[in-house]
Structure 1
Amino acid sequence: MKLQEIATFFMDTVNSSHAYATGGTSVSEFWSNPKRLAEALTTETEESCTTYNMLKVSRHLFRWTKEIAYADYYERALINGVLSIQRGRDPGVMIYMLPQGPGRSKAKSYHGWGTQYESFWCCYGTGIESFSKLGDSIYFEERGERPALYVVQFIPSTFSWRTAGLTVAQQLMPLSSSDQYLQVSFSVSAKTTNGQFATLNVRIPSWTSLNGAKATLNGKHLELASPGTFLTISKQWGSGDQLSLQLPIHLRTEAIKDDRPEYASIQAVLFGPFLLAGLTTGDWDAKTGAADAAASDWITPVPVESNSQLVTLAQESGGEAFVLSALNGSLTMLQRPKDGGGTEAAVHATFRLVPQGGAGAGAAAMLEPLDMPGMVVTDRLTVAAEKSSGAAFNVVPGLAGAPGSVSLELASRPGCFLVGGGEKVQVGCAGGAQQKRGDGAWFRRSASFARGEPLRRYHPMSFAARGVRRSFLLEPLFTLRDEFYTVYFNLVA
């Protein structure tokens, strides 16, 4: 067999966790059918050690073949596989297996998160080493009479190209869900006054398109190469040459690698190379609206300004702190989580106060649970998609008079408010049973909530997706810590 045939065979065979669209890593440590991956969607799916090994394999294959497919693979495995296996910025807290099934959590998987000092399974060694190699495989040098450099990953960095006597500095603009382009720039400067003749090859990734793509060198437009090829520039580089790329970045879906017709609707959602996970405890039915719908038809960016509308509403009761939460489609009070924004409790205890015209005291607003964009809390204390008058609340100063507190009056029932006071949420009305029993102070206190900073915020790359029974908040998999999520959806027209 030729080298290319061997490489293709090897990658296809080991590519048995395309089940989460990184471009492939193996399920656990076993060989499995690369065309029957739907059954791999379980709590124990992608093993950190295998991602580590496949990064090495794809690196070698790229060096031998210069095939961009291997650089594309490396990018996806690095972003979605490596960056997802550490718990936020917690040092030494790694994961063995990255779960891929519907409604899974990294914290609640079979192995779960490790510990800083007591855990030492094999993936602790390779996992930590992977994070020491984040700067690896960005640049590849080809030596010869005319030196050439291949730039294959878009990662802010500086490369001292000694053979050519040049310094290449790469900068990347931060991305958000509202961006339509990935923008990367390169500053190339010579270490001598005369410069050096050399060739720069920049990867044009397969996930982009030519529609709207631009490349400029020192302000002059270049003819851009097709996706899946290199933009090649050979010249006498001087001091301060500037190369800029504008690459369209799109939402798209990818079907799971399974040749059985009954699994054709099981698809992952990606934004460029970023795998998007939907926050959910199990529901994975997405509503596309049409069989041939584009991803952008049923998935929309979360506006940047939405973060300023997020809030957590808290109360003290019996010496304990509680937070208003939306759990299983209903309102409840949960104990305030001690850990911060990466917990499932933080997701449920964060709401978006969506203004309904006007501002200030008494302004009407809707309560939108963070993980159900577009859905609102109703006067029945449930979460629904209908935005009727029964879903509006008048946000007024707290009845108990505490500075910074608010009370939520039902717009459909003036004088009636959300009442907590423990683990239960109910509707209480001024002059109702509590006050008739002489418990007016209790009523005012239980109808008042401290309006605090949200326990959770939207990631800049956040999207809202329509579902059959609910909506989904989509965020990059690598940003999640303990939240429940799904990375494959069942697309329903």
Structure 2
Amino acid sequence: MQGHYMSAAAKMWASTHNDTLAGKMSAVVDALHACQQQAANGGTGYLSAFPAEFFDRFEAIQPVWAPYYTIHKIMQGLLDQYTVAGNGKALEMVVAMAGYFGDRVRNVVQRHSIERHWTSLNEETGGMNDVLYQLYAITNDQRHLVLAHLFDKPCFLGLLAVQADSLSDFHANTHIPVVVGGQMRYEVTGDPLYKDIATFFLDAVNSSHSYATGGTSVSEFWYNPKRLAQTLSTENEESCTTYNMLKVSRHLFRWTKEIAYADYYERALINGVLSIQRGRDPGVMIYMLPQGPGRSKAVSYHGWGTQYDSFWCCYGTGIESFSKLGDSIYFEEKGSKPALYVVQYIPSTFNWKSAGLTVTQQVKPLSSSDQNLEVSLSISAKTNGQYTTVNVRIPSWTSENGAKATLNGNDLQLASPGTFLSVTKQWVSGDQLTLQLPINLRTEAIKDDRPEYASLQAVLFGPFLLAGLTTGDWDAAPAAAISDWITPVPSSYNSQLVTLTQESGGSIFVLSTANTTSLTMQPRPVGGGTDAAVHATFRVIPQGSSPKKTRKRRHLTNGTSTTEPTSAMIEPFRLPGMAITNSLTVSGDKSSASLFNVVPGLDGVPGSVSLELGTRPGCFLVTAGAKVQVGCHSGGEAQGFLKAASFARAEPLRRYHPISFAAKGARRGFLLEPLFTLRDEFYTVYFNLGD
């Protein structure tokens, strides 16, 4: 965790140059330096939160959990403090650590064998090869290069070298960092084999082992290729694996400029990284990202992160991931003809120093009703400089039909999806490049080549994976065109949302669909972001008025004359297209849905409402403890009846996200929202689109 903090702090400081953060991270390095100099360590360079005896066990192939994994994090954090934050003391500390562990590995090989050392690598060692190759690139010390290569784990990289997808049963997050280290070996030595290894690896994971989020692993391990249907559970997509897969794709993009790697980065960033933060709760990350039907992030969070100290490693990757959200938006190609690659659509400003330009990217916020993603790049130039090229990614998920690009209002010939739009000119202040990219709904099959699972499909809106709010039902009702069974939720629907409450015994209760098919009263949830809040939110849909339904009536408690509002259907928030029936159950058959007259509350409390059945004048929805039933008013009931038939109309506990869709299901409707927006609600990301 401490190593991740140093990496995260360095990267966040590089973005903000915040003085408080600079002071904190400098103090951490100073404190660790003091630890490293302790007499108990004999000035050997050893630095760790656990005794060196753990490495005795590691080298003797005795049980001990991953000491090198944590050493890698400390070394990487210190190296980032040097390369990103400019702390020279941190580099000295990393060099000292490399010297200590180099001696240990050398002793194992000399006293036993290289095979003994390789056997020890079957324990998780993190990215030891990665950080040591980085160190070699700085020091040019051959000892660092040799030690890095000794952590390359040939039994794993060798399989990839012969292009064998034998990932099954390998611990995913043990081995992805080894591939990243192999990529650094290619960078510092030019050995093309390691480029080929990384290329094959990412292709194998993407084609056979990844979910629609871009993430991978089940219970931390890889499963059989193209057999993911039976892996859907709470234990999918360890967050650390997504963190490391982004590194793999970033390197490959830098080397090749292939759009596929940038597209993957976008998918994994939006749906994998952003989704591990529970809603907008700052600093609250989850370890696994559930993919099974009717699962919740709350299960992952409470089931792992609060019980096992060892899983703070994934909170470490979490804080580091959120410290570098600006990573990989822009890539610069240096040389006699500088070029800029705009790879991700994230509002940001880039100071392109070598070209004397500042590029400001703005992205129009999306809603489900939008048919285009709109991006604009504004240029500010210090001087009239050289001719340079700006390349903007045209993602594979868009289409040519309806796409548009302009430069200062003049149309440009737009490149095809999966390529770059390139504009070369002598840029001046005020230049503006705009893109209009069609964004559509689509389905994507789970990676499973067995015919019986061909109907399991995820739904995406451009790069956004949509999750359906459900506790387990995943049978959809697809039509020939996706627009026939999935429709946008207009933002105006938010004004029709309400939570209905009652007070009893000093506690607040809410009308809820927690029993799925019928109404009940439940304790008021603390706030939004929970499944209880979803169940306690309703959409009141006006149905118009008629002479029979709009009439003068005496208020049943104070005798004043009122005019009833228009009748309405009541739709549970989580069940679009369905409504409350006369028997107070939920149905998708509109003919059986009840029309309720929403009238002033029978209890006479200002602002309260009562729900009168349109087909049974004088009969109301009333509560009796947790039970909700129909009660008819005869005029002589006690105050208890009037109170039980009256509700306070509170602010809705849940609102529609701007990107929300209603999908038709075989037995119910589904509300679809981007996975990354959810906190603790129950959801599914794969639907059964069978007949």
> Does TM, scored on the shorter chain, surpass 0.5?
yes
Give the superposition deviation at 1:18.
6.1
Following superposition of structure 1 onto structure 2, how do residues 354-369 of structure 1 map, counting pairs within 5 Å? Answer: 354-358=541-545, 361-369=564-572
Q: Once the two structures are superposed, what CA deviation does each residue of 1:155-205 show, in whole Å capped at 9, x if it has no partner?
A: 00000001111111000000000000000000012111x233101010000
Among 242, 251, 267, the alignment partner of 2:457 is: 267
CA distance in 1, matches of 2:446, 2:313: 28
**Paired residue type of 1:207:** W
CA distance in 1, matches of 2:242, 2:580: 42
Q: Is 1:445 the equivalent of 2:643? A: yes
Is the CA contact (8 Å cut-off) linking 1:16 and 1:25 kept in structure 2? no
CA distance in 2, matches of 1:280, 1:308: 23
Is the CA contact (8 Å cut-off) linking 2:214 and 2:242 kept in structure 1? no
Q: Which residue of 2 aligns with 1:334?
A: 522
SS state at 2:266 partner: helix
CA distance in 2, matches of 1:92, 1:237: 41
Q: Which residue of 1 aligns with 2:166?
A: none
Among 237, 240, 256, the alignment partner of 2:446 is: 256
Q: Kindly tell me: are residues 83 and 17 of structure 1, through their superposed partners in 2, closer, same or farther at Cα, counting changes over 3 Å?
A: farther
Q: Is 1:71 the equivalent of 2:229? A: no
CA distance in 1, matches of 2:256, 2:219: 28
Q: Kindly tell me: are residues 26 and 345 of structure 1, through their superposed partners in 2, closer, same or farther at Cα, counting changes over 3 Å?
A: same
**Paired residue type of 2:454:** A
Q: Kindly tell me: are residues 210 and 116 of structure 1, through their superposed partners in 2, closer, same or farther at Cα, counting changes over 3 Å?
A: farther
Is the CA contact (8 Å cut-off) linking 2:582 and 2:594 kept in structure 1? yes
SS state at 1:11 partner: helix
Among 154, 167, 171, the alignment partner of 2:345 is: 154
CA distance in 1, matches of 2:407, 2:303: 48
CA distance in 1, matches of 2:537, 2:382: 53
SS state at 1:233 partner: strand
Among 286, 293, 297, the alignment partner of 1:106 is: 297
Is the CA contact (8 Å cut-off) linking 2:466 and 2:673 kept in structure 1? yes
Is the CA contact (8 Å cut-off) linking 1:99 and 1:105 kept in structure 2? yes
Among 203, 216, 228, the alignment partner of 2:406 is: 216
Is the CA contact (8 Å cut-off) linking 2:286 and 2:301 kept in structure 1? no
Q: Once the two structures are superposed, what CA deviation does each residue of 1:378-425 show, in whole Å capped at 9, x if it has no partner?
A: 010100012237511000000000011000000111100000142111
Which moved further from structure 2: 461-470 or 389-398?
Answer: 389-398
Following superposition of structure 1 onto structure 2, how do residues 400-479 of structure 1 map, counting pairs within 5 Å? Answer: 400-431=603-634, 435=636, 439-479=637-677
Whose helix proportion is higher, 1 or 2?
2
Among 322, 327, 330, the alignment partner of 2:509 is: 322
Among 372, 379, 386, the alignment partner of 1:181 is: 372
Among 287, 304, 308, the alignment partner of 2:495 is: 308
Q: Kindly tell me: are residues 305 and 18 of structure 1, through their superposed partners in 2, closer, same or farther at Cα, counting changes over 3 Å?
A: farther
Give the superposition deviation at 1:76.
0.6
Q: Compare CA radii of gyration and give the structure with the larger one.
A: 2
Q: Is 1:375 the equivalent of 2:587? A: no
CA distance in 2, matches of 1:44, 1:99: 6
SS state at 2:337 partner: coil
CA distance in 1, matches of 2:223, 2:308: 33
5+ residue gaps, structure 1: none
Give the superposition deviation at 1:114.
3.6
**Paired residue type of 1:465:** A
Is the CA contact (8 Å cut-off) linking 2:210 and 2:217 kept in structure 1? no
CA distance in 2, matches of 1:390, 1:41: 35
Q: Once the two structures are superposed, what CA deviation does each residue of 1:81-137 show, in whole Å capped at 9, x if it has no partner?
A: 111111223233210101000010111248547459978532111011000010100
SS state at 1:79 partner: helix
CA distance in 2, matches of 1:412, 1:361: 15
Is the CA contact (8 Å cut-off) linking 1:253 and 1:268 kept in structure 2? yes
**Paired residue type of 2:648:** A
Q: Which residue of 2 aligns with 1:297?
A: 484
Q: Which residue of 2 aligns with 1:397?
A: 600
CA distance in 1, matches of 2:576, 2:593: 18
SS state at 1:121 partner: helix
**Paired residue type of 1:367:** I
Q: How many residues are matched?
A: 483
CA distance in 2, matches of 1:18, 1:218: 44
SS state at 1:185 partner: strand
SS state at 2:241 partner: helix
Whose strand proportion is higher, 1 or 2?
1
CA distance in 2, matches of 1:242, 1:134: 24
5+ residue gaps, structure 2: 1-160, 162-191, 551-562
Is the CA contact (8 Å cut-off) linking 1:19 and 1:41 kept in structure 2? no
SS state at 2:362 partner: strand
CA distance in 1, matches of 2:628, 2:282: 38
Is the CA contact (8 Å cut-off) linking 2:464 and 2:674 kept in structure 1? yes
SS state at 1:380 partner: coil
Following superposition of structure 1 onto structure 2, how do residues 40-189 of structure 1 map, counting pairs within 5 Å? Answer: 40-109=231-300, 112=303, 114=305, 120-189=311-380
Give the superposition deviation at 1:431.
2.1
Q: Is 1:235 the equivalent of 2:425? A: yes
SS state at 1:388 partner: helix
SS state at 2:223 partner: coil
Q: Which residue of 1 aligns with 2:136?
A: none
Q: Which residue of 1 aligns with 2:228?
A: 37
Q: Which residue of 1 aligns with 2:21?
A: none
Q: Kindly tell me: are residues 333 and 36 of structure 1, through their superposed partners in 2, closer, same or farther at Cα, counting changes over 3 Å?
A: same
CA distance in 1, matches of 2:689, 2:683: 16
SS state at 1:210 partner: coil
Q: Which residue of 1 aligns with 2:71?
A: none
Give the CA RMSD over aligned residues: 2.0
Query: Among the aligned pairs, what percent are the same residue?
Result: 78
Is the CA contact (8 Å cut-off) linking 2:372 and 2:438 kept in structure 1? yes
Larger relative contact order (Cα-Cα within 8 Å, sequence gap ≥ 6):
1
Is the CA contact (8 Å cut-off) linking 2:208 and 2:226 kept in structure 1? no
CA distance in 2, matches of 1:29, 1:169: 39
SS state at 2:253 partner: helix
Give the superposition deviation at 1:17.
8.4
